[in-house]
Amino acid sequence: MHTPTLVLHARRDEIVPFEAGKHMAASIANAEFVQLDSRNHVLLADEPAWAQFKEAVLEFTGRPPSNRAEDPLLASLSARERQILAAVVAGQSNSQIGTTLFVSEKTVRNSLTRIFEKLGVHTRTQAAVMARDLGLTLTPTEQLRTGVSVQSRNASLPSASSKPSDPRVLSAKRRLPP
């Protein structure tokens, strides 16, 4: 029986010696061993080894690795701000966003002000275009919470002359919960 196996181990792991990880990988037929540059037994998302870990797991599972890091402007947004921005990209009004996220319209308006400041834009359209250009994506959890699934970078966004009823305006699709 052949079972694909990936063993990842931090080089300076303070819990389990590095040699133990190498030994484990060597004892499993055809196991792939990846050395991570970290001292943490459990990796933290903000350390450089995390990106290496993600890429190794994605490659091992046959999923395409991410080709680029998230843009710093998008990374500066909180999860809630990303949800609101995705809803703006989807063409939702402040009222609709508030209803979907269970917050007041005023909270949405205040959040948009912070989002605009962080992105350096002045309008919803500018924010939506920037989100598309920077490759905004939502995690599956964020998609479920907002009911919005952000499409690929090539999805169409509203132009300055587009009307909200124009189907080309939507670059994200509204999904209803199951």
Map tokens 């992105």 to a residue.
119
Residue 34 lies in a domain: yes
Does one domain contain both 126 and 161?
yes
Query: What are the φ/ψ torsions at residue 82 (nearest 5 degrees)?
Result: -65, -40
- Which residues span the domain enclosing 47? 6-60
Residue 116 lies in a domain: yes
User: What is the rounded end-to-end Cα distance, in angstroms, of the chain?
Assistant: 39
Asked if 32 and 8 touch (Cβ cutoff 8 Å), the reply is no
What number of helices (H) and strands (E) belong to the chain? 8, 4
Task: Estimate to the nearest angstrom the gap between the alpha carbon of 172 and the chain centroid.
Answer: 15
Does one domain contain both 87 and 150?
yes
Does one domain contain both 91 and 145?
yes
Alpha helices in 2-104 (DSSP H): 18-27, 48-60, 72-75, 79-89, 94-101
Does one domain contain both 76 and 42?
no
Q: Residue 30: which pLDDT band, with cuts at 50, 70 and 90?
A: confident
Is the overall model pTM greater than 0.75, yes or no? no
Residue 65 lies in a domain: no
Q: pLDDT: is 67 or 114 the higher one? A: 114
CA distance 6 to 31: 6
CA distance 11 to 64: 25
Does one domain contain both 169 and 117?
yes
Does one domain contain both 77 and 158?
yes
Label the pairing between strands 6-10 and 32-36.
parallel
SS3 content of the chain, % helix, strand, coil (to 5): 45, 10, 45
Instruction: Please count the structural domains in the chain.
Output: 2
Does one domain contain both 88 and 38?
no
Residue 117 lies in a domain: yes
Q: Residue 150: which pLDDT band, with cuts at 50, 70 and 90?
A: low
Pick from 16, 38, 60: which residue ends a domain?
60
Q: Is the pLDDT of residue 176 over 50?
A: no
CA distance 124 to 173: 18
pLDDT digits (tens, 9 = 90+) for 118-140: 999 999 999 999 988 887 866 55
Does one domain contain both 76 and 130?
yes
What CATH number does the domain containing 92 carry? 1.10.10.10
Does one domain contain both 147 and 107?
yes
Does one domain contain both 94 and 136?
yes
Does one domain contain both 119 and 155?
yes
